[in-house]
């Protein structure tokens, strides 16, 4: 049986909050085995809740991606709330004043195991300011839902952002508690940190093997299948094409008005063969996004089907499909020109991939050298893996695709 850090707090470790002024950084995923939210559970037990911190999407997940969250009080309990996703980059960081009347900060958010997923950056930012104020942070840990696999590269200097705030792998294989330990040990985040560990979880386990209920971690992360491909398919956020937001298959669907779906499928298959990508199939698709890019318009493109998650390299899938889209529909394809996570002077695709190398390789007109990319990733992943070993809590090694 798997028990989360929150469940262990409520069952065994209420001493961590008894008689203390408590702040909580959480969202809607912070639930018990009985589906009770952390704020409601602690409020019912008379814990002194002085402040909530809401990440991207908010404490109760009412906002879409990259949408300003304007929260002042929790609508259920009335606890004062500070949004850590406002209208500028400074809003991503709490202020020292937010900790003046706080004895301990609890952090409980379900991550999905990808660098771009902004909750882990929020953890690092909260830890940094709490540490400066002498306030301890307790991470109530949860499993990494896509298991202990490593993919991708590290963020290069000059390409840091909210989707790449710390030098971790794209698919990092760690839990939120382990990431907190990593930030403290290797990223200069000085904070008194305690991790209330998940009980009964092994790093090789996927979320659907834990017996825990899946609560969508963000509005466009409806299923574990979505989380499985997100470390790659998120790259379409950096393009003018729809990544399937506004449909029931976000990140599985991608395309734009005027795309020839058969030609795109053929390009995806050819690029997959060149890259040695396994575990996916492609289907011509038509869809009409209800919101976000091309909202209300008829899009054509591709639906990605995962056929074997045990062999799929999700980050490579993203590079392959973006390359296929770029090469097969050059006149229709474009890079995002609007600011991305408050950054205006660096291309969104470079922020997501952690450097300009992939984009420059693609724009050169030559075939993308996946072997060269993989060799450079392997060197970076070795550095990350060596550092991560020193802070890992749970049984099971970090593994890489062959």
User: Domain ranges in the chain?
Assistant: 5-219+384-400, 224-355
pLDDT at site 75: 84
pLDDT at site 23: 99
Confidence label for 204 from pLDDT (cuts 50, 70 and 90):
very high
Residues 266, 282: Cα–Cα separation, whole Å = 9
Average pLDDT over residues 389-402: 94
pLDDT at site 14: 98
pLDDT at site 197: 99
pLDDT above 80 (res 61): no
Residues 270, 398: Cα–Cα separation, whole Å = 30
Contacting residues for 297 by C-beta, under 8 A, at least 6 apart: 257, 288, 289
Express each pLDDT in 233-269 by its tens digit: 999 999 999 999 999 999 999 999 999 999 999 999 9
Residues 348, 116: Cα–Cα separation, whole Å = 11
pLDDT at site 76: 87
- Regarding the domain delimited by 224-355, which CATH topology (the fold level of the hierarchy) does it fall under? 3.90.1150
Confidence label for 395 from pLDDT (cuts 50, 70 and 90):
very high
Q: What are phi and psi of 51, to 5 degrees?
A: -165, 145
pLDDT above 70 (res 107): yes
pLDDT at site 193: 99
Q: At what angle do helices 314-328 and 370-389 cross, to 10 degrees?
A: 150
Express each pLDDT in 169-202 by its tens digit: 999 999 999 999 999 999 999 999 999 999 999 9
The neighbour count for residue 350, using CB atoms within 10 Å, is 23
pLDDT at site 71: 64
Residues 165, 122: Cα–Cα separation, whole Å = 9
Express each pLDDT in 323-369 by its tens digit: 999 999 999 999 999 999 999 999 999 999 999 999 999 999 999 99
Average pLDDT of the chain is 96
Q: Is the pTM of this model over 0.75?
A: yes
3-state secondary structure of 253: strand
Superfamily of structural domain 5-219+384-400: Uncharacterised protein PF07075, DUF1343 (3.40.50.12170)
pLDDT above 80 (res 378): yes
b/e per residue 364-394 (b: at least 16 CB within 10 A): eeeebebeebbeebeebbeebbeebeebbeb
Contacting residues for 144 by C-beta, under 8 A, at least 6 apart: 111, 113, 173, 174, 175, 203
């Amino acid at each position: 049986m798997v028990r989360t850090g929150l469940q262990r707090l409520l069952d065994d470790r209420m001493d961590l909050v008894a008689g203390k002024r408590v702040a909580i950084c959480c969202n809607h995923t912070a639930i018990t085995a009985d589906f009770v939210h952390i704020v409601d559970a602690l409020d019912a037990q008379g814990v002194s809740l002085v402040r909530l911190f809401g990440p991207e999407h908010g404490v109760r997940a009412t906002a879409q991606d990259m949408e300003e969250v304007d929260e002042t009080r929790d609508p259920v309990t009335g606890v004062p709330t500070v949004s850590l996703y406002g209208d500028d980059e400074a809003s991503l960081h709490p202020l020292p004043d937010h900790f003046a009347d706080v004895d301990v900060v609890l952090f409980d958010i379900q991550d999905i195991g990808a660098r771009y997923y902004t909750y882990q950056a929020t953890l690092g930012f909260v830890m940094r300011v709490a540490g400066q104020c002498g306030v301890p942070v307790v991470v109530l840990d949860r499993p990494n839902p896509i298991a202990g696999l490593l993919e991708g590269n590290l963020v290069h200097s000059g390409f840091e952002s909210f989707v790449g705030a710390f030098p971790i792998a794209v698919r990092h294989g760690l839990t939120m508690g382990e990431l907190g330990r990593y930030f403290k040990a290797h990223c200069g985040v000085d904070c008194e940190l305690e991790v209330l560990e998940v009980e009964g979880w092994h790093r090789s386990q996927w979320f659907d093997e834990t017996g825990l209920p899946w609560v969508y971690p963000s509005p466009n992360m409806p299923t574990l299948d979505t989380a499985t491909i997100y470390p790659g398919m998120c790259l379409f956020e950096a393009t003018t094409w729809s990544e399937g937001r506004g449909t029931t298959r976000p990140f599985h669907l991608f395309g734009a008005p005027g795309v020839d779906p058969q030609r795109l499928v053929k390009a995806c298959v050819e690029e997959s063969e060149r890259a040695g990508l396994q575990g996916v199939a492609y289907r011509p698709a038509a869809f009409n996004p209800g919101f976000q890019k091309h909202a209300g318009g008829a899009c054509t493109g591709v639906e990605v089907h995962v056929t074997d998650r045990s062999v799929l390299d999700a980050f490579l899938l993203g590079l392959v499909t973006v390359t296929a889209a770029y090469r097969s529909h050059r006149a229709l394809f474009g890079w995002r020109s609007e600011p991305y996570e408050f950054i205006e002077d660096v291309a969104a695709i470079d922020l997501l991939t952690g450097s300009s190398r992939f984009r420059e390789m693609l724009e050169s007109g030559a075939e993308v050298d996946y072997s060269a990319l993989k060799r450079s990733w392997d060197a970076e992943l070795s550095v990350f893996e060596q550092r991560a070993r020193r802070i890992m809590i749970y049984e099971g090694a970090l593994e890489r695709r062959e």
